[in-house]
Amino acid sequence: MKITRSLLGRAPAALLAAGLVAAPLSALAHDDHGSRHSRPRLVGYFTSWAVYSAKNYTAKSVKDSGAASRLTHIQYAFANITPDLKCGVSDPWADYQRPYPAADDVDGVDETWSETEVRGHFNQLRKLKKLYPKLKVLISVGGWTFSNRFSDAALTPASRQAFVSSCVDMFIKGNVGEGRTSGDLFDGIDVDWEFPGACGNTCDFRPEDTQNFTLLMAEFRKQLDAAGRTARKKYELAIAAPVVESLYSKMELKRVARSLDFISIMGYDMHGSWELQTNFHAPLLPSSADPAGKKLNVHTTVDAFLRAGVPRDKVVVGVPFYGRGWQGVPNVNHGLYQSATGPAPGPVEVGSMDYRDLAPIAAVQGSFRDLRTQGHWIYNPATGMFWGYDDAFAMKVKGTYVKVRGLGGNMFWELSQDSTSGTLVRALHAGQN
């Protein structure tokens, strides 16, 4: 359906009451998997490299956008795994060396080389935490690019112990390198192994990754608890989990969940420019009209995690702050579920564009929404360009979905892709509340 101003002004609760959402979310409030979490988490990834882009995204940007006051967690991306299978920083300059001028500093103080042992993002995030004491910061290890050594690191009891010990020493105890310490920054560790027992960016995996991943998480839990007893605080442990069944089926979800505080389902990239048919890359609900079938959506995956025995309050629904696009799309069904000649050109990456760049386009040419999947898209018949992405309304619905089902919260990738006023963070927060 074409989006109108009156529809955009209606809250998800109003949509539910009007019966406009397929498989009404209100009915989902009464399912019986697991327990309820008292306050939904709102978890945002902060990328080290966004500071190098035209956005110059910093911890001060998180504060200025209004996101910091709404977030429960920031997950800093990414720590690497070194050739000797230890935790390591991926960009020392951005992470802890770069001094910030007053204009870019969280508290407006001009950093100097002698002011502190740790500068860069680490010091800026530490300052942000002082302004927002309830905000937690986790170091995220791995990601798409740095997951190739996980299988080796998790292979034996000795390798697991040594790897986890290095991560705890570097980020929890704060020995980040060059004699510098930042032990008051990180409140836990997020493990983003893409993917145990399956190909990701590389195919460096083993069949025994399934069991070894469970054992690796148990080792993280053991060492984080030991560090917490010394520091007299609770250190959190989280993972990013795939949304596709062929990938999450290679994980012992129930056993892994025992070691974790929460699991963020990466509810995006279900479709993209690697295919030659348009689709939503982050559909919330199933649809019989979807040519890919009714299994590839967030709701189906959430149900699978709950049935596998993951407690409800540990299930966090991931959402994207970017879209996926195609070109050469015929003007049929406003471009949805149609053939394409290839990926649409993007400002940085082919087939991908940040919400902050897509929103102005939608404001000019209008957009469409599929009430069955809750998918949102823009289409230009003159250029044959199709972009599917979550706007503020879709985010509010996904926040409401978490609230209605009593789930553990929402995660998103990633902060710098939002508008400068934090449009999507605000919408997620409003949906949760």
CATH number for the domain spanning 103: value is 3.20.20.80
* Domains held by the chain: number: 1
**Distance between CA atoms of residues 217 and 255, nearest Å:** 9
Tell me the residue type at 192. Answer: D
Is residue 361 in some structural domain?
Answer: no
Nearest residue to 127 (alpha-carbon basis) of 156, 162, 102: 102
Flag whether 235 is in a domain. Answer: yes
Question: Does residue 60 form part of some domain?
Answer: yes
Structural domain boundaries, residue 123:
28-323+393-432
In a domain, 4, yes or no: no
| Amino acid residing at 84 | D
Cβ–Cβ < 8 Å for 145, 202: no
Q: Does the active-site annotation cover 252?
A: no
Place of tokens 């893409």: 194
**Within a domain: residue 378?**
no
Predicted pLDDT of residue 110: 86
Closest CA to 42 of 11, 14, 89, 74: 74
The predicted structure's pLDDT at residue 115: 58
The one catalytic residue among 111, 194, 219, 414: 194
Q: Which of 358, 418, 374, 366 is nearest to 267 (CA)?
A: 374
pLDDT at 20: 39
The answer to whether the predicted template modeling score (pTM) of the entire model surpasses 0.85 is: yes
* Residue 382 forms part of a structural domain: no
Helices (H), 146-293: 150-153, 157-167, 209-231, 245-248, 253-257
The predicted pLDDT at position 58 comes to 98
| Per-residue model confidence as pLDDT tens digits over 386-409 | 999 999 999 999 999 999 999 999
- Ranges of the chain with pLDDT below 50: 1-24, 30, 32-35
* Residue written as token pair 């809250």: 11
Confirm whether 6 is domain-assigned: no
- Single out the residue of 67, 69, 428, 36 nearest to residue 267, CA to CA: 428
Query: What pLDDT, on a 0 to 100 scale, did the predictor assign at position 157?
Result: 98
